[in-house]
Amino acid sequence: MKAPHSKEPTDSLSRTLADWRVAPGRTPEFRAAVWARIGDDKATLSWAVYARRNAGIVAGALALAATVGGVIGKEQARAQADAASARLAAAYVQGLDARAMVGR
């Protein structure tokens, strides 16, 4: 059985939360202090500090760069090996050509 909906909270916690209001005090220098802290952090932020603060991002970027570099290097090495193999095969077949042997 459902309780009837009413605008008045029935328990003390609900009444307390309904009546609760936050009124923060105003500080005129707050905005200037925030911008001063931001300016200080940007001015003193070195690469080492950035790397320590964002270690996961830096490690991920380094791992990605190493992986991409390895894949590209492997493909270039494979292409060079294939080209060398083709040159050797062509030289071998040319060495076996009977028409080329006549003049020797």
pLDDT digits (tens, 9 = 90+) for 1-55: 455 555 555 688 888 888 888 888 888 898 888 888 887 666 666 788 888 888 9
pLDDT at 82: 97
pLDDT in tens, 69-100: 999 999 999 999 999 999 999 989 888 877 76
Please report the pLDDT score of residue 47 as a whole number. Answer: 82
- Could you give the CA distance from residue 30 to residue 26 in angstroms, rounded to a whole number? 8
Tokens read off for 12: 């003390």
| pTM above threshold 0.75 | no
Greater pLDDT, 96 or 101: 96
Q: Residue 3 in contact with residue 12, Cβ under 8 Å?
A: no
> What was the pLDDT predicted at 1?
43
CA angle 16/14/4 to nearest 5° reads: 145
pLDDT in the model for residue 51: 86
